[in-house]
Chains A and B, each alone.
Chain A
Amino acid sequence: MTQEIEPRVTMRGICKAFPGVKALEDVEFTLHPGEVHALLGENGAGKSTLVKVMTGVYQCDAGTVTLDGKEVHISSPAAAQDLGINTVYQEVNLVPTLSVAENLMIERQSSVFGFISWKKTRERARASLARLGLDIDVGRSLGSYSLAVQQLVAIARALDRETKVLVLDEPTASLDAHEVETLFGVLRDIKARGISIVFITHFIDQVYAISDRITVLRNGRFVGTGPVAEVPRMRLVTMMLGRQVEGHTGDRPSPDTIKMEGEALVSAKALGKSRYLKSVDFDLRAGEVVGLAGLLGSGRTETAKLIFGAERADLGEIRIDGQPVSLRTPKQAINLGFGFCPEDRKHDGLILDLTVRENIVLALQSKQGIFRRVGEAEQNRLADEMIKALGIATPDAEKRVGQLSGGNQQKVILARWLVAKPRLLILDEPTRGIDIGAHAEIVALIRKLCAEGLALLVASSELEEIVAFSHRVLVMRDREKVKEIVGQDITQAAIVEAIANS
């Protein structure tokens, strides 16, 4: 290590545990003055926890933090701000109903004889925005401006104090390419003033566009750090995903079982939605599994949601059985025979307080409409059939779903769609949060369903499982399909390479 520059912030041996999880274990992080430092890692890597230790939201269980060579104890967000560490979160944490000036100056308005002078306050607000090259009417409500402007206002507010460190938590997640450029221009300016920037993002291209150095975390552990020039893309992706990338393909379906002929059930052409997903195209036939691979935020889930009508596409076209359709609602997709198992089972899928039986008949009931109730006997028959077919470990169909294990909950969601006899099943992270044994069962189940002629679209961050069940893999990066890998060519190495190359 060079001794010439004294680091602005040094964090050593940081440990932080939450009940049941070790969020950070012996993590180190060094931030130099006037640099943009990208902090990278997949879901659960510990990026946010590390940043929250730095900004005083959490207290670390062990480890030291030094600021400008002095050890500091950051006990609260206010304490962090007093030390000059400011944060801008992904969700713009400002009040949309207040004016821009009020947002910038809340709790620090100028006053005359104890009463607020809005004229002076607005002048100061205007001046602080001008420093970022933003000239807008500060009297208008913040909510009437674009997200990019709101983001800049949040940054302006963070810079208003004696800022030494600016933490940006996924600032570009909802910005378009032009807005990102504007933001980066501002960041370069801020950097030139000697302020250190911690930049959390999922977009690899942006890392290389703006960062000076990179630190990668994985599963709460420190993986590596270094100047951006010394970390090629390939290595970065490997560091983030943490898999030994060999040529090993695992148990692959042989190519002759892939039905490449026949009409596509779903055919997407340059499908996208502005600010959401740039473009994806693929064909999906009955009896085929198409895997969606990519880093967090690359557009996996977004693709799944567009195909299911949970988000409305406004770019490109989608054909179903050769007919162009415009999917507006999930209801429409369900009527076309689509099923969707979302990433977050508890929030978006299962109703934990209902029984296994009730959860299973839910989709069928909604397909039939509320006036044609599925009979009691029919409900029991379906539930029992599914419990047997999918091997759901439950004493009986009347157990509350909340009491089942994660793997079995996942099977209940699958069962729910299967009773509705779908033609296409969309699965988003089907193995997230379930144990290894159940993991293998779900993968086996996906193959079995596919062999029975179902079409499946499966998004997953687990390369191993994608490789294991996919006939074709769409590799996503920066909200866009960048490569399609078919048949024997599907290997973890090929996917990683596609993610890394630009």
Chain B
Amino acid sequence: MRERRLPILATIVVFLLLYAIGGFYFNNFLTTRVFGNLLTDNAFVIIAAIGMTFVILSGGIDLSVGSMIAFVGIVMAVLVRDGWHPLTAALVLIVFGFLLGALMGYIIDAFEIQPFIVTLTSMFMLRGLSAVISQDSVPINHPFAEAFGSFRIPFPIGKGWLSAEALVMIACLIVALIIAHRTRFGANVYAIGGDAQSALLLGVPVRKTVVGVYALNGVFAVVAGIVYALYTSSGYPLAAVGVELDAIAAVVIGGTLLTGGVGLVIGTVFGGLIQGLIQTLIIFDGTLDSWWIRIVIGGLLFVFIVLQKGIMRSVTALGSQGAA
């Protein structure tokens, strides 16, 4: 048994269990429509969480994601209002996200400052900037935005469909899987998260990797912001408050160790979907207050953190019985 794969198994079990509970208690739960909506509604959080996975795998954290989503939304809305094509705005914003992330990564590594603090500054600045650009919600009216919103690929069975949001998420997932598991950059992210000092001695370019991780996360956060803006057809300076924490929760529930070095991108997708499922279940129930979503996710997080601690002990136990 590869101990490192245990957390992801636990995640999948929880996911299936929640699905079974839904199917057992509610009619219409096991339909492609519910599944399609699950993907659509959670696409932006999952995209942000995929980016966050790299950050956490490297042993860091990024708190600026929620603010970045709001900032992207408001800038895009204003630019579209001023006559830009949404895709041009998106491209410019992606470059911006990449550069800001790279800068944060550089500061974190070069000055040895806690990622928590560095990304906190971006979190404040981006949120403040969003409000300076516009205090109010700005609608996005553009033929492209409408086409994006009404795009749908029907599932072969049932009444459900795959939305554009879900497609972007799946594309992000594929790119992330390749980066994480098929490139040296990805291997190096795991290495510096496991033990940065050793990684350096093994010849891993630590600086380049850290800068790359935050730049990559910047891009994912911007894409999440674009998806969110198109999903809500607007930009709003107070949007997506705390989404970085939802993303972190998705990563952890998805089996990635907060200390870095161990975890899978695919786990994060399940982590995000689990949060979405809990939300769906509580909405289906209809009697419970929506705050119960938080309570259940909190409890789940707690269980996963304790589970991980136990697994980590067995993985790094020196001279364990598994020795040859």
Contacts and interface: CB of A to CB of B under 8 A. Distances in A.
Nearest to A96: B316
* Chain A facing B: main interface SS: loop
Given A144-B317, A149-B324, A96 B194 contact: yes
A149 B319 CA distance: 9
B190 A93 contact: no
Interface residues of B, number: 35
Interface residues of A, number: 33
Interface in A247-292: 275
Interface in B220-276: 257, 261-262
Interface in A74-126: 77-78, 81, 89, 93-98, 102-103, 106-107, 109, 115-116, 118
Nearest to A115: B182
Given A96-B194, A134-B324, A107 B203 contact: yes
Contacts of B261: 95, 97-98
B309 interface: no
A81 B319 CA distance: 29
Contacts of A96: 194-195, 315-316
A89 B200 CA distance: 14
Contacts of A89: 201
Interface string B134-156: 00000000000000000000000
A134 to B, nearest CB: 7
A3 interface: no
A109 B319 contact: no
* Chain B facing A: main interface SS: helix
Contact of A97 (B187, B190, B322): B190
Given A95-B198, A144-B3, A106 B316 contact: no
Contacts of A136: 324
B204 A106 contact: yes
Interface in B186-206: 187-188, 190-191, 193-195, 197-199, 201-204
Contacts of B316: 96-97, 143-144
B42 to A, nearest CB: 29
B323 interface: yes
Contact of A102 (B3, B178, B191, B203): B191
A193 interface: no
Contact of B183 (A103, A116, A134): A116
A143 B315 contact: yes
Contact of B318 (A78, A115, A139, A147): A147
A78 B320 contact: no
B159 interface: no
A95 B195 contact: yes
A345 B225 CA distance: 53
Nearest to B186: A116
Contacts of B315: 96-97, 141, 143-144
A146 B317 CA distance: 9
B3 A94 contact: no
Contacts of A102: 187, 190-191
Contacts of A147: 318-319
A106 B191 contact: yes
Interface in A125-158: 134-136, 139-141, 143-149, 157
B323 A115 contact: no
A144 B262 CA distance: 14
B134 to A, nearest CB: 43
B4 A97 contact: yes
A140 B195 contact: no
A78 B2 contact: no
Contacts of A107: 184, 188, 202-204
A415 B203 CA distance: 48
A97 B320 contact: no
Interface of B: 2-4, 178, 181-184, 187-188, 190-191, 193-195, 197-199, 201-204, 257, 261-262, 314-320, 322-324
Name the 10 nearest CB pairs between A and B, nearest first.
Answer: A146-B323, A97-B194, A95-B194, A97-B261, A143-B316, A115-B182, A146-B319, A93-B198, A93-B201, A95-B195
Given A97-B315, A146-B323, 5 more contacts: A106-B191, A115-B183, A116-B184, A144-B3, A147-B319
